[in-house]
A and B are shown apart, each in its own frame.
Chain A
Amino acid sequence: MTNTWQDIKNANVVLVMGGNAAEAHPCGFKWVIEAKIHNGAKLIVVDPRFTRTASVADFYAPIRPGTDIAFLSGVIRYLLEKDQVQHEYVRAYTNASLIVKEGFSFKDGLFSGYNAETHSYDKTDWQYELDEQGFAKIDDTWENPRCVINLMRQHVDRYTPEMVSRICGTPIDKYLTICNLIAGTSLPDKAMTSLFALGWTQHSVGSQNIRTMAMVQLLLGNIGVSGGGMNALRGHSNIQGLTDVGLLSNQIPGYLTLPKDQEQTFDDYMKTRQFKPLRPNQMSYWQNYRKFFVSFQKTMFGDAATAENNWAYDLLPKLNVPMYDIIKAFEMMVHGEINGYICQGFNPLQAFPEKNKIRRGLSKLKYLVVMDPLDTETSRFWENVGPLNPSDPAKIETEVFQLPTTCFAEEDGTLVNSARWLQWHWKAAEPPAKAKSDIWIMAGIFHRMRELYRKEGGAFPDPILKLTWNYTDPVEPSADELAKEMNGRARADLKDASGAIAVKAGQQLDSFAQLRDDGTTESGCWIFTGSYTEKGNMMARRDTHDPRDQGITPDWAWSWPANRRILYNRASADVAGNPWNPAKPIIQWDGSRWVGIDVPDYGPTIKPSDGVGPFIMNAEGTGRFFALDQMVDGPFPEHYEPMESPVENLLHPKVQNNPAARVFADDRADFGTPEQFPYVGTTYRLTEHFHFWTKHALINAILQPQEFIEIGEVLANEKGIANNGWVRVSSKRGHMICKAYVTKRIKPMTVAGKPTHVIGVPLHWGFTGLAKKGYGANILTPSVGDANTQTPEFKAFLVNIEPSNGPEGEV
């Protein structure tokens, strides 16, 4: 989230699209209700199904799964056509005026630089025209046709209301009503918040879904302001923390990236990461990358990281592919390229696409270690549970180690919520039986491995042998100690500009501004610096004081970065430093410095007249309509059909799907066609459950006991499916037999002139736990991810459905 949960109450319009906040985030949804009741906000819901969120919406419109880019590109077109944009904001705070390099073009669904063999782009031309000093050229009059705003206008021109309706299945009148409601927030003192979740990320165009909305928000001047923002509602209490500390195969903590194969030297590595300013006077904060990286290396390797050895750069692994995501990992498992798997707090047999493929992969392993508080399906993948899990244990040689772990309430620690708050929590109960903390288990594995490396050597023992492990209790380092390490400390006395000692050696750091690239500081995760200082554990603070009752509580827990609650908050004020919305200011210029209720996302004393842009992480200091080379599938978002789609791409039939998506050959062979599988499937959560966990809890199992799918009345009648009757839902990859919920909440949509039916597949069931046994939605879903992040396409795929005699019919 750019903003906070509480800040949602300041919105004038709440758009829930690509998510189902009431259902999946019922607690946070209180702020939407607050906005409605106390701020007169209008709630708009755009979703294939009439959801629980829609039940309290002021306006609902249906949309075919996987067509959000078309819908939102249409909104951009509408805003530009009606000229309902926040002009001053767009001119000053976005890259609308910058001029794009001549070589960049878009034609018939492809951007310039496409390589059909590698399914990837050469992104050289996805850049600005630069002047002699290396700054981007600009035309404030917007007359130059190569201005970003003009290229964008041209790009979205195809998304007429008629075209949007034909692609998305949204009736034109409903679509235009929504455009009109959204456009109302282009006024400087009006704001719309965008609440989204996996409904946008779980697509082969997931990242671009979100980008399109971000562009809408930039046009409306809704980024950085109170009640605005792009608010990703994270699907897990600590999934924000997972990305923050870099638990992805291509990252290291704090959104630093792992080196690639080609970057054999530290200099190579730094070349593409120290972003030089693209406009005069800009902060381009990533210029400090080296300080963050060196401090990270000092945490990892301590004295073994020196200036001479380039801060132990060589001890880091180098990626030979863009990433080893889970889809890739299971592809490798199936081909015997991965044969051991430590599965920590993860249940891929239920949670990842193509259940049958996951089981095939696990069956080929030599060993599988499952660390989980629950008896997961993954740990029992070998068990023959009939059609629900048709394994043959006699043919599986995988040795499975099930290590029961503690759950969050049984340990101290912190979780990072959607609003980037690190909230400390305290152990509330003893773990049951022999459950051990993940830290204890990982430390044990580390010590044994280090011992083996010490004794036996091996190809490259250094990264393990040189890893620092200076914890008071090396067997089970305390959460406090680990948190302090994340925050970072001075390794030598740090002096300020005047030469006085600012931080003594060994002291905790207060801010990432104190980090140095000379090895005198260390920090495990630079964005967390400030969370555990000499003053104590800032994450454990519990002061609800809210100075303006605007949902900003600076002394409650701690928010990264720098305890900042609303990102880009410089953009809440106009160029002169006065709030766009005087009723809800965040920060403003008082003549000498930036003051307000939040930590400025800006230099605190930078004068408005200095012309420093509010988006300080970007090299040009502005928000980007044109994303340069940051996305693998284009600087502008484009509508591509899901990998399995019932219709051809109306905009460019020859480029049906995301051309930059990575699809493995055997996965592509498992895609179905609309002739065999004519209906659109989409998966989702129900409010009564959390993923595959809560079916182990009796109350949740009582509240939602059994697997079912949702189907509209029209299709049910057509197929002779009765409410509460049994159905067989199948995709090219597998099938499930479950109950049908025939509902008025799913209606056929007219797409490209044809009726299109959506079948909803809730995902919570499996073969362990207290609820009735079920298949799980991933028996149906295709193994393909977002081109940028590889988040699986769970939200749009093809299925067929027919009445069934129930599980007895299964042999």
Chain B
Amino acid sequence: MTRPLGTLIRNDTATRINHWITALCFVLLVISGLSMFHPVLYWLSAFFGSGQWARQSHPWIGVVLLLSYSGLIIQFWRDNLWNMDDVRWMMAIRRVLANDEEGVPEVARFNAGQKFVFWSMAVLVPVLFITGLIIWEYYFGTWTSIPTQRAALLIHSLCAIAAILVWIVHVYAAIWVRGSMRAMTQGYVTPGWAWRHHRKWFRSLVATGSSGPRPNDVRREAGE
């Protein structure tokens, strides 16, 4: 992929592929899941051909999602660790929402909102996976008691609702914060974007002479 000179890599190719697999799975799961959740959304199953196909595909897509999201966790977990910057950022959330980022505490690669999305999904996806296995009739219908399956269904539904809400926030944020979409499609951001939204991350790249997505290992460089 061509990257204009002087831009920074926000997400490398592997990450972007990983993200979009996850995203696709998630969307398909939302469509098939909602079709089985509420009668007025049953028509969504038509995207899969029929209710049977929606029902049959859903758990398999879920398996892919779990694997895929695990990849994201491996790639992102360190940059999503919570720290005091996030608290300060949260305190200034009104200014963030008002697009007035001057004076908002500097954040590194991810801000608290992104970390919220990340960790929410990191919790919800495994729970959805496990409860999903319990109610996967074809393979595991006889593995657990029916009361367990009922509880699993309820938890699965509640988690899915939560995940969808988080996802709406995530998607809106991507639309709202211009440049984010390109960061995940083409992978790069302008230095100005980095400066505006992730100033600490920007500084660390500059300081280590990295073009992203992570700062270079300074000590190793020194050793050369």
Indicate whether A and B are direct neighbours in the complex (CB within 8 Å): no
Residues of A whose CB lies within 8 Å of any CB of B are: none
Please report B residues at the A interface, Cβ cutoff 8 Å: none
